[in-house]
Amino acid sequence: MTTIQEELLPGTRRALLHRIAVAQSEGRSPSLVAAVVRDGRTVWHGARTSVDGHAPDENVQYRIGSITKTFTAVLVLRLRDEGLLDLGDRLEKHLPGTGAGEATIAELLAHIGGLAAESPAPWWERSPGSLRPELADVLGDDPFLHPIGRRFHYSNPGYTLLGALVEQLRGASWEEVLRREVLEPLGLNRTSAHPSAPHAGGWAVHPWADVLLPEPAEDLGRMAPAGQLWSTTGDLARFAVFLAQGDDRVLSAETVREMRMPAAPAEAADVADGVTYGLGLQIQHRDGRLLVGHSGSLPGFLANLTISVADDVAVVVLANCTSGPLLAAVGADLVRIVAEAEPRIPEPWHPLPDVDASVLELAGQWYWGTYAFALRLTGDGGVSLEPLSGNGRRSRFRDNGDGTWTGLEGYYAGELLRAVRRRDGSVSHLDLGSFVFTRQPYDENAEVPGGVDPEGWRGIS
């Protein structure tokens, strides 16, 4: 991918460089690389390194650890979209005999399957996968630590099961399916299960001295779907565009939007931190922004992918050290720097090419009881409903083509909105999931549940 640095202002570029320079220096990382994506392409790449006269470019591979899980989730959702499984299916239906088959596929994707965080000893990230040749070796004798579906508990073995599910339904290895169905269609030619030169070496930095120790780069075997991949800032920049926009060759925009929706109950600490989990993606609220993506770590490497869809900014940060810079914070800061210095320019407003008069007459003010709302026609052919004051329930609605609309977000997601008409064709009220919206508060001429007092509105006598 060609690096296009000149598209960001000089002050923005310097602020980005300063942030990664501080991260590399204070985090004592042998190297750190970063990329910023906007408008569907890389607009900045930066690198800091301890090697004089050399800086890694966007084609140097680093190990990306648990960002691998997002790739595995994409494969599972492809199976769902093809009708080969349902996210509500128990694993046992498609992959019998694991001992963890009571968890559903959705629960495994969202880390609420009740499984342990790690596989039995020895430490899987620093030992060869050949020590765990079977799923039973990954899960152990008692894989469940928590009630299924009740608690978010990050689980690496859960994604091993999902990788095995992909293999079972595709009849090929996880690595081969990933290459054929995701990497090749998206042009991620520098993402692979094993390192391909040029690639960074993984290092441990002594916590109390400026000295290094090389880390082993193990083949994780069965655990590969949880953390095996190597990639580059160039490839992960392209992957970020896909996660924001979708690509019909892999997953639709609607499905990647589903991945970005919260799917796991948040722990008390997570609520305080504004962090939750979707289907293969981490979700957090930071600096007033909704950020999605994933972090990753394996001995010798740290990685972070952060996306702000609303700001049209995505960031990739990679480092080759076991511990050091907090890349999640770096990623969020890089998003903030670009979004605040060079905010997204809205698309020009255009009037609708055509409008149905029966829909246009619904626009304007409506009341749910005494709460005032506005219904507006949107540029995509749908409608929106939002409170005129306060922070009440709001939603956009998709046109179903039959005079009804389906809610897309918030309280009204999936709920049906329709206009109820009298015999003469005039509109009586709007029905939204049984809620009645009228043109006047408790309109006596509409079908208000419970009726309206015939004496009407009055003062206190």
> Tens of pLDDT along 114-163?
999 999 999 999 999 999 999 999 999 999 999 999 999 999 999 999 99
Most confidently predicted of 258-267, 310-319, 443-452: 310-319
Peptide bond into 454 cis (omega under 30): no
* Residue 109, token pair as written in the block: 């994707």
Q: pLDDT band at residue 3, thresholds of 50, 70 and 90?
A: very low
Q: What are the two backbone dihedrals, phi and then psi, of residue 48, each rounded to the nearest 5 degrees?
A: -135, 140
pTM recorded for the entire structure: 0.90
Which of 401, 402, 411, 453 is closest to 432 using CA atoms? 411
**Residues 334-349, mean pLDDT to the nearest whole number:** 93
Q: Return the ∠ at Cα 26 (arms to 20 and 29), rounded to 5°.
A: 70
pLDDT of residue 461: 74
Amino acid code (one letter) for 72: T
pLDDT digits (tens, 9 = 90+) for 23-52: 999 999 999 999 999 999 999 999 999 988
pLDDT of residue 177: 98
Residue 87, classed as helix, strand or coil, is: coil
Percent of the chain with pLDDT over 70: 97
pLDDT of residue 392: 85
**Distances, alpha carbon 337 to alpha carbons 15, 46, 343, in Å:** 7, 14, 10
**Residues 235-264, mean pLDDT to the nearest whole number:** 96
pLDDT of residue 242: 98
**Distances, alpha carbon 75 to alpha carbons 179, 241, 253, in Å:** 10, 17, 15
- β-strands 275-277, 230-231: how paired? unpaired
pLDDT of residue 145: 94
Lowest mean pLDDT among 4-8, 12-16, 228-232, 452-456: 4-8
**Residues 349-377, mean pLDDT to the nearest whole number:** 93
- β-strands 395-399, 404-407: how paired? antiparallel
pLDDT of residue 272: 64
What are the b/e assignments for 351-365, b being 16+ CB within 10 Å? eeeeeeeebeebeee
pLDDT of residue 433: 93
Amino acid code (one letter) for 95: L
Which of 235, 217, 237, 215 is closest to 227 using CA atoms? 217
What whole-number distance in Å separates Cα of residue 59 and Cα of residue 232?
A: 6
Question: Who contacts 179 (Cβ-Cβ below 8 Å, separation ≥6)?
Answer: none
Domains with residue ranges and CATH for the chain: 5-341 (3.40.710.10), 357-437 (2.40.128)
Which of 31, 17, 54, 69 is closest to 324 using CA atoms? 31
**Residues 415-422, mean pLDDT to the nearest whole number:** 96
Check whether 2 has a pLDDT greater than 60.
Answer: no
pLDDT of residue 391: 80
Strands (E), 50-157: 62-63
Question: Who contacts 303 (Cβ-Cβ below 8 Å, separation ≥6)?
Answer: 62, 63, 64, 65, 67, 295, 296, 297, 316, 317, 318, 319, 327
Check whether 202 has a pLDDT greater than 60.
Answer: yes
Q: Any idea which residue has 């239906």 for tokens?
A: 93
pLDDT of residue 275: 81
Check whether 1 has a pLDDT greater than 70.
Answer: no
**Residues 201-220, mean pLDDT to the nearest whole number:** 95
Q: Any idea which residue has 């992957």 for tokens?
A: 239
pLDDT digits (tens, 9 = 90+) for 154-184: 999 999 999 999 999 999 999 999 999 999 9
pLDDT of residue 287: 85
Mean pLDDT of the chain: 94
* Residue 384, token pair as written in the block: 């929106």
